[in-house]
Structure 1
Amino acid sequence: MAYHRRLGLRLWQLERRVFCEHGTAKARTPVLGGVYYVVLITRSMSMASRKSLVCMMLLLLLASSCGDKSATSSTSPPSSTSPTTVPATAGVVWPAADGSVPYADPVEAAAGFATEFIGFTEPLVGEFQRGDSRSGEVEIRPTATGPVTTVLLRQVANDDSWWVLGAVTDAISPTAPARDSIVKSPVLLQGSSTAFEGTVDVAVRSRSTARPLAEGFVTGGSMGEVGPFDSTLEFANSATPDGAIVFSTSSMEDGRVWEATVVAVRFS
């Protein structure tokens, strides 16, 4: 009898050891040895002793569940969330970076940019002229016979919205700052132009509808003759990391914005 008791106890101990080390996936619950041991040992015990032993065995069986729980927790796959796609808007000057809703129509984007950012007054807005599958341009005129300012647009986000990259006009050709370059105060202004009395207005703007960070002018050629300009302009800190340098001329009759070149920049 003593031999069978030792055998049952040893069998239960071995089963529990394997169970706790490998979990339920690789071993059976250590019940067989325990039951075998209990059946043999309780034959020589009183009823009270049998009850105590059964309670002890139940507690041991509950404790053996630690292997199953640890194995389950260690193999649980880590939770993950899908990354948020952020529009790649580097080099964009419009719409404003203050929560404005992007434009679904490129013509509306060009019109909003011309009036709210450059400062045109009731301009004539042309049709959208497509470049490639995701870019194009829209011509803006102050009057029916006025000069053309071409607004450059592109779909830069992961949807069908339209964003303005800048604007160009034949009369104003800046060489500094370069498009999408990093600038700091004072900003270097170089290039060539022709305008009434040679004056080209300059505004440093953040990518917003707020007032310009600075306003000034450069002097190039006049009366149709193109001449160089070279100057600097100090400006205040920007609330947005990107913005633009706006070069524009004014009407000789009423001072309205006549044409413009807009260069996207980033602030250091």
Structure 2
Amino acid sequence: MTKRFTLFLLALAVASGLAFSLGYISHSVPPTTSAAVTTTTSEVTQPASAMWPFARTPLRFSDPVTAASSFAVAYLGFSAPVVGAFQQGDSRSGEVPVRSSATGAITTVLVRQLTDDDSWWVLGAATANIQITTPALFASLTSPATLRGISTAFEAQVNVELRGDQSLAAIGTGYVMGGSMGELASFEGQITFTKSSTRYGTLLMRTYSAKDGSVLEASALRIMYAK
């Protein structure tokens, strides 16, 4: 694990402390698709640092591994992920490794108990093969947004998507070109997007299998949209 990748994971973990001061209620209510412990919710504010689950749905998780597995399938798009054991951070947070197969690259899903009911929320995801340096965590984006980092992927292509808060729909798509065949190299590009109705959102970067088009790995970063 590189120093840069380790610092990125630490930044995602620290961001969870902003959850209660930066809360925002989205106006989109997408479907939910995975098994979980559920509770009845009314008008609940989405924690600012949380991508999953969506607060305005009843989906909640009493187990961090279940939360990570649900996120990997429903949000990141993995088809049949191999989900590892929960790795404890502090008393209310940690991470869960996810792979597309038993030998696939690791996507680290960061989870935390953010609310009074002690349910688990997903803060983001990171993989050593897609390391985002620009934008920064919680950066305020305008269109077109600049993307920088380092990556490696089949034929060098990393697919990019921007989403609004509490939504699986893309408001912008594109790709960047970095390294290939296991060799990390810098990428730089831009992504244009339509105006978001939400303050918060997600920058999602993924690579796909050349064999069947399935998701191999992903980095997901919490961002903001400029008003």
TM range (shorter): 0.7 to 0.9
Contact 1:195 1:223 in 2 (8 A): yes
Instruction: Report the Cα distance in structure 2 between the residues aligned to 1:235 and 1:211, rounded to whole angstroms.
Output: 12
Partner of 1:260: 218
Q: 162, 167, 187: which is aligned to 1:229?
A: 187
Partner of 1:161: 119
Partner of 2:74: 116
Task: After superposition, give the CA deviation of every residue in 1:14-38 in whole Å (9 maximum; x if it has no partner).
Answer: xxxxxxxxxxxxxxxxxxxxxxxxx
Contact 1:93 1:242 in 2 (8 A): no
Shift of 1:96: 2.1
Structure 1 moving runs of 4+ over 6 Å:
none
Q: 28, 36, 48: which is aligned to 1:90?
A: 48
Task: After superposition, give the CA deviation of every residue in 1:52-87 in whole Å (9 maximum; x if it has no partner).
Answer: xxxxxxxxxxxxxxxxxxxxxxxxxxxxxxxxxx76
Contact 2:46 2:54 in 1 (8 A): no
Partner of 1:199: 157
Q: 154, 165, 173: which is aligned to 2:131?
A: 173
Structure with higher RCO (Cα < 8 A, 6+ apart): 2
Aligned amino acid, residue 266 of structure 1: M
Q: Which moved more, 1:105-114 or 1:87-96?
A: 87-96
Aligned amino acid, residue 48 of structure 2: A
Verify: 1:135 aligned to 2:93, yes or no: yes
Q: Which has the higher helix share?
A: 1
Aligned amino acid, residue 95 of structure 1: P
Partner of 2:107: 149
Instruction: Report the Cα distance in structure 2 between the residues aligned to 1:100 and 1:186, rounded to whole angstroms.
Output: 35
Task: After superposition, give the CA deviation of every residue in 1:168-199 in whole Å (9 maximum; x if it has no partner).
Answer: 11111110111122212211111110111100
Contact 1:97 1:240 in 2 (8 A): no
Instruction: Report the Cα distance in structure 1 between the residues aligned to 2:173 and 2:126, rounded to whole angstroms.
Output: 19
**1:42-81 counterparts in 2 under 5 A?**
none
Instruction: Report the Cα distance in structure 2 between the residues aligned to 1:158 and 1:219, rounded to whole angstroms.
Output: 42
Instruction: Report the Cα distance in structure 1 between the residues aligned to 2:103 and 2:130, rounded to whole angstroms.
Output: 18
Q: Is the alpha carbon distance of 1:113 and 1:207 closer, same or farther for their aligned partners in structure 2, counting shifts above 3 Å?
A: farther
Shift of 1:120: 0.7
Query: What secondary structure does 1:213 align onto?
Result: strand
Question: What is the root-mean-square deviation in Å for CA atoms of aligned residues?
Answer: 1.6
TM score, norm. by length of structure 2? 0.76
Q: 182, 188, 191: which is aligned to 2:146?
A: 188
Aligned amino acid, residue 193 of structure 1: S
Aligned amino acid, residue 235 of structure 1: F
Partner of 1:8: none
Partner of 2:41: none
Query: What secondary structure does 1:173 align onto?
Result: strand
Partner of 2:57: 99
Task: After superposition, give the CA deviation of every residue in 1:128-187 in whole Å (9 maximum; x if it has no partner).
Answer: 111110101111111111111010011122230111110111111110111122212211
Percent identical among aligned pairs is 45
TM score, norm. by length of structure 1? 0.65
Contact 2:46 2:56 in 1 (8 A): no
Instruction: Report the Cα distance in structure 1 between the residues aligned to 2:213 and 2:183, rounded to whole angstroms.
Output: 21
Number of aligned residues? 183
- Structure showing greater radius of gyration is 1
Gap regions ≥5 residues in structure 1: 1-85
